[in-house]
Amino acid sequence: MCGIAGIVTQNAKNYSEAIQKMTDAIAHRGPDSAHHEYFENIALGHRRLSIIDLSENGKQPMFSNSKNECIVLNGEIYGYQSIKKQYGEYPYQGGSDTEVILAMYQRKKEHLIHDLPGMFAFAIWEDERQQLFCARDRFGEKPFYYAHGRNGEFIFASEIKAILASGLVEPKLNQEALSHYLQYGYVSTYQSIYSNIFSLPPAHQLIWKEGEINVSRYYSLPKKDRVLSLSEAKEEFTYLLKSAIEKQLIADVEVGSFLSGGLDSSSVVAMVNEFLPHQTTISFGYDHEDSELKYAKEIAEKYHTKHIEIHEKKEDLVSGIQKIIPFLDEPFADRSSVPHFEICKSARKNLKVVLSGDVGDELFGGYSFYKVEYEMKKHFGYQSLLARFGLKLYQNIRQISYISQKNIQYSSILDFHQNEVRNFFDNNERASLGITQDYQQPYSFKADKNSLNDIMRTDLEKFVPGNMLVKSDRMAMANSLEVRTPFLDIDFAEFCIQLPDQLKINSENDKIILRESMESYWTETIRNRNKQGFGLGIGNWFKEESLLKFSDELLKDKNQKIFDYIDFKAAQKFLDKGQKHWNLLQLALWANHHSKFL
């Protein structure tokens, strides 16, 4: 895991100070070393976190054997050893996965991307063709941003802060991205908070040549569900998960695992045990009776892991928020970033690499709202206009169920999902704040509005890269820690995406395929657990006096930077110690921290 940066421009060596500032800005992503290389028309920079091939042979920017190509890579190519054998004609100098991409590029050019697994964001400069080829992994695990400088330079980096550090871009606030943040609590993976700094979306490639940029999608989620029995699915599920875990354990440093005591992380730890007895596991919990630490300890004891517990007191909250804001270049409202930062910080004391159980809910059907949508789908009034009209009349006489209310309110389960689930400020509320723009991202598939699987596909292309993987990458990299996500192994993920929804969720159960395949690996307590959030509820957080004082300073002073962009008077009615209050607080904190750019 590393940080990358580059500037395409004439007389690139004149930009040595700018590229140095860029890599300095992302030193946390790669504290082990920093290197820069120059062609006539490009400066490349890299910050290294040494994971594979710790020798000088693994350093970047890395030249090919011909010196015609040079690459900067952030990420890991899982299973690279077997790919390397397919390109035996290349004269390898070391044992890194980065060099394998150069070998692939020499034979296949841009077409290599279709055969490249793993999590990655990279750029390859080909001097002979004067072309830059960039790509981002299929699910958006690694970030990639780009912009044009004031003198026509093409600039790219792992984080927005590196582009700003170049001094070549004067950022402008993106009103659409601000609207998306207010609605959903994060900026879309297709945009950045600045209108003139761009995010390369997941599963996309970018080619710069002769001053022109071409961005295109190279991968789409599988669109059709498979037909297979539960017994067939269980066998394939277990085989593919083991294979994914085995590939992601490859490193020249120790690999540990996050362990929450939930179904997903417990499954990862159980599979790691097949290959790595006495692994290190790390758990986090607030000191309150609902902490998950006791569940994590059960699994740790079952598999005899070297277990590390991190206890956190909620009165540390304000300092916790202030610690993470320098690593968030955009407004971000996910409260679990605070504990996630702490668990990454503690993990880094012992490890450089950890496995995570993220994205299990989206792949296996684990969220409670999926169950609501399942019930909405089978509800008798769902597709009948006459029945819905009758329900509207009936509700005037008697109270009807939540499911019936939502079937009346929304045209489909997809409509409900996009406009109610994980939504905060609606259209009218955003308009009252002075935000009238709207943004809805594109997808690689046309969703069936009645399909639960298509709702999960929607989350894989929207929430996962926009929220979950942003949190995972930024909080881990803030602590120079690499986090790997086995559930996003391409073979395993595609298998799960295509599973029929009845193997994921029904009226009685969620995560059916996971429960059926993995229950023998869990303890009895874990088998019977329901999903639990990471940390305390928002109401408990706002009981902290220091947080309320902090909020008043930022949100009750009309001279604060946030009120250059939203209406001060309208904002006051949302300061109710709830989630909208929290989201405004995070926006205000972000605006203050980045005021010199706004």
Q: Give, for all 598 residues of the chain, the pLDDT tens digit.
A: 699 999 999 999 999 999 999 999 999 999 999 999 999 999 999 999 988 777 788 899 999 999 999 999 999 999 999 999 999 999 999 999 999 999 999 999 999 999 999 999 999 999 999 999 999 999 999 999 999 999 999 999 999 999 999 999 999 999 999 999 999 999 999 999 999 999 999 999 999 999 999 999 999 999 999 999 999 999 999 999 999 999 999 999 999 999 999 999 999 999 999 999 999 999 988 766 567 899 999 999 999 999 999 887 655 789 999 999 999 999 999 999 998 999 999 999 999 999 999 999 999 999 999 999 999 988 744 455 545 555 555 555 555 577 878 878 898 999 999 999 999 999 999 999 999 999 999 999 999 999 999 999 999 999 999 999 999 999 999 999 999 999 999 999 999 999 999 999 998 999 999 999 999 999 999 988 766 555 567 888 898 899 999 999 999 999 999 999 999 999 999 999 999 999 999 999 999 999 999 8
Residue 31 gets which letter from DSSP?
B
Residue 201 DSSP class:
P
Strand segments, DSSP code E, in 436-524 are 482-484
- Alpha carbon distance 316, 551 (integer Å): 15
Contact criterion met (CB below 8 Å) for 189 and 202:
yes
> In the numeric block, which tokens belong to residue 535?
């940390």
CATH 3.20.20.140 matches 228-362+450-526: no
Secondary element (H or E) of residue 242: helix 230-248
Beta-strand relationship, 145-148 and 131-136: unpaired
- Decide: 243 and 82 in contact? Cβ < 8 Å: no
Query: Could you give the 3-state DSSP secondary structure of residue 175?
Result: helix
CATH number assigned to the domain covering 1-169: 3.60.20.10
The rounded distance, in Å, linking the Cα atoms of 256 and 410 is 44
In sequence order, what are the residues at sequence separation of 6 or more whose Cβ sits closer than 8 angstroms to the Cβ of residue 31? 47, 49, 480
First CA to last CA distance, the chain: 30
Q: Is 334 annotated as a binding residue?
A: no
Cβ proximity of 556 and 565 under 8 Å: no
Q: What are the backbone dihedrals phi and psi of residue 94, each rounded to the nearest 5 degrees, phi first?
A: -150, -165
The closest alpha carbon to 455, from 390, 365, 516, 541, belongs to 365
Give the β-pairing of 197-199 and 145-148: antiparallel
Residue 403 is predicted with a pLDDT of 83
Whole-angstrom Cα distance, residue 92 to residue 227? Answer: 43
Q: How far apart are CA 65 and CA 492, in angstroms?
A: 34
Q: Which residues partner with 43 through β-bridges?
A: 7, 38
Q: Catalytic annotation on 70?
A: no
The torsion angles phi and psi of 13, rounded to 5 degrees, stand at -65, -20
Residues whose CB is less than 8 angstroms from the CB of residue 179 and which lie 6 or more positions away in sequence, other chains included: 430, 435, 436, 437, 438, 439
Helix (H, G, I), strand (E, B) or coil at 125: strand
**SS3 of residue 530 by DSSP:** coil
Asked if 117 and 97 count as a contact pair (C-beta separation under 8 A), the reply is no
Question: Omega into 61 within 30° of 0, i.e. cis?
Answer: yes
- β-partners of residue 45 are 5, 36
* Residue of 2, 70, 344, 496 marked active site: 2
Nearest by Cα to 172 from 183, 162, 164, 180:
164
Characterise 332 by phi-psi region: left (phi > 0), alpha (psi -120 to 50), beta (else).
Answer: beta
| Nearest-angstrom CA–CA distance, 185 and 177 | 10
Domain ranges of the chain: 1-169, 228-362+450-526, 537-597
Q: Is 192 helix (H, G, I), strand (E, B) or coil?
A: coil
Q: Give me the pLDDT at residue 315, please.
A: 56
Q: How is residue 404 written in tokens?
A: 């019936």
Q: Are 139 and 161 in contact (CB under 8 A)?
A: no
Q: Is 118 labeled as ligand-binding?
A: no
Q: Name, in order, each residue with C-beta under 8 angstroms of 89's C-beta and a sequence gap of 6 or more.
A: none
Task: State residue 381's pLDDT score.
Answer: 47
Chain position carrying tokens 């995972």: 472
| Vertex 278 angle, CA 366 and 308, to 5° | 65
**How far, rounded to the nearest angstrom, does the alpha carbon of residue 534 sit from its chain's CA centroid?**
16
pLDDT given for residue 76 in this prediction: 96
Sign of CA dihedral 520, 522, 524, 526: negative
Query: Residue 82 burial (CB < 10 Å; 0-12/13-18/19+)?
Result: exposed
pTM, entire model: 0.95
Token readout for 254 is: 């120790």
Nearest 5°: phi and psi at 307?
-100, 135
Beta bridge partners of 33: 48
Q: Which residue type does 479 have?
A: N
Per the document, the length of the chain is 598
Strand partners, 69: 126
What DSSP element (H or E) covers 374? Answer: helix 368-378
Sequence-separated (6 or more) residues with CB below 8 Å from residue 175: 195, 435, 437
Confirm whether residue 149 is marked as ligand binding: no
3-state secondary structure of 331: coil
Longest CA span, the chain: 80
Query: What's the distance, CA 277 to chain centroid?
Result: 29
